[in-house]
Chains A and B, each alone.
Chain A
Amino acid sequence: QKEVEQDPGPLSVPEGAIVSLNCTYSNSAFQYFMWYRQYSRKGPELLMYTYSSGNKEDGRFTAQVDKSSKYISLFIRDSQPSDSATYLCAMNRGSNYKLTFGKGTLLTVNP
C-alpha cells in the first residue's frame, strides 16, 4: 500500500461548483498536512497547511483532516476558471522529515 493515495482525475466542473479533492494515507506518524497547487508549466506552490484534525478555512478554500480515518480533503467553494490546476496533497512527520506527495489531481473549471 502506498503511503499516500490521491485520485489523479482528471476532474472537470462548471464554474461556481463546489470541488472536493481527497487523499488517504497509511502512515499514522504523519502529523502535518499540506496542499500544493501547480499551474500548467509552473512549479507547485503551497496553498494551505494544517497540523491537526478538523477544518481550516482560507477564503474559498477549506482544508479538512480526519486523522482517525487517515483522510484529508480540500474543498473549493464557488470554483473559478483560475482554479484550474493540479492539486497535490503532501504530508510529513515533522520538520526533520521529508515531504511525501500524492500524485496530484488535475482540476479544470469550465466557464
Chain B
Amino acid sequence: GQNIDQPTEMTATEGAIVQINCTYQTSGFNGLFWYQQHAGEAPTFLSYNVLDGLEEKGRFSSFLSRSKGYSYLLLKELQMKDSASYLCALPGGYSSASKIIFGSGTRLSIRP
C-alpha cells in the first residue's frame, strides 16, 4: 500500500523561504508529484521527481530522497499569492492501475 504524511498547516512571511516536507511509504516507487491548490480551485502541477536530488524551477524547488522516503518543496521569495494548499502525491504507475494517491495537503498562509 501507500501512505503519505505532510504537516497540516504552516505560516510564513512574505519574502521569506519555506520548506514543506512530505514523507511516504510505498511498495513500488514511480516518482513523486507536488501540486498547488488555491481554495476552491483545482490542483495545478508544480513538479515531478523520480531521481534523488533537487529539481529547481524558478522560485520553487523540489527535493527527493528515495532511500529515506522523503521529499520537500522549497518556496523562495514568498508572495501573498503563494497562500494555498500544497499536495504531495504518489503515482501508482500503469502496473498499479494508475491510481494516484494524494496526501492531505499542507495549508500555507503567507503574512505580510
Chain A partners chain B: no
Write the residues of chain A forming the contact surface with B, with a CB cutoff of 8 angstroms. none
